[in-house]
Amino acid sequence: MKQYNNDLTSEIIASYDAPLYTDQQLSEMNEEARTLIIEQQEYAKHHPVTAFYRAAVAGSRTLRGGVVDEPNPDPSQGMKVQLDNGQWVSMVTEGATVTYPDGTKAVIITSAGQLSEWEGKGIALVGSLLDNGDVIISTPDYGLVFTFREGESMPDDFLPVKKVA
């Protein structure tokens, strides 16, 4: 299963800098929508992407060889994403488990945000810390990312620093 990390490559930067709409498409929009999009494009031009973080899902990998467990094997349960290969996997939160080749387990202890539908837990990310000191380094999900631009600060609940045993 292909894995993706948080490396901010020149290709990724270029994709964030590319306009989403052609001049023709913009001309066909109503004035309010066109104005909003032009303002967003100007903001992006003057505030380049400085970092981005991918969401962790079941199948994500850790630095020490662990794999994030599927918390909801029933496809009708939980929030799912479809991977490039067509497989559906669960989004994971703080508190999800990781299993290592020797059978030991660890728990994800840092995340981003707090979602009420997940009992106040945040979304685990590439970069989330585990209770054994390990860290998630890649995910099979390409699509869901959190971006930060020059001049923007990270929220207090975004991968907060925690001490581990």
- 36 and 73 inside one domain: no
C-beta of residue 112 within 8 angstroms of C-beta of residue 158 = yes
Nearest C-alpha neighbor of 56 from the set 85, 84, 81? 81
Give Cα 98 to chain centroid, integer Å.
17
**Quick one: pLDDT at residue 122?**
87
From 12-21, 52-61, 71-80, the region with the lowest mean pLDDT: 71-80
Q: Is residue 159 part of a domain?
A: no
User: What average pLDDT is seen over the chain?
Assistant: 88
Q: Are 83 and 106 within one domain?
A: yes
Q: Is residue 87 part of a domain?
A: yes
Identify whether 57 is part of a domain. Answer: yes
Average pLDDT over residues 7-13: 90
Residue 157 placed within a domain: no
| 156 found inside a domain | no
Grouping H, G, I as helix, E, B as strand and the rest as coil, residue 10 is helix
- Report which of residues 30 and 121 the model is more confident about: 30
User: Is 95 within 8 Å of 105 (Cβ atoms)?
Assistant: no
Structural domain of 46: 10-51
Question: Do residues 45 and 62 both lie within one domain?
Answer: no
Looking at the domain assignment, is residue 116 inside a domain? yes
Q: How far apart are CA 165 and CA 163, in angstroms?
A: 7
83 and 137 in a single domain? The answer is yes
Give the domain CATH number at 91.
2.60.200
Mean pLDDT of 74-84: 78
Q: What is the pTM of this model?
A: 0.83
Q: Residue 38: which H helix or E strand, with range? A: helix 31-46
Looking at residue 55, what DSSP letter applies?
B
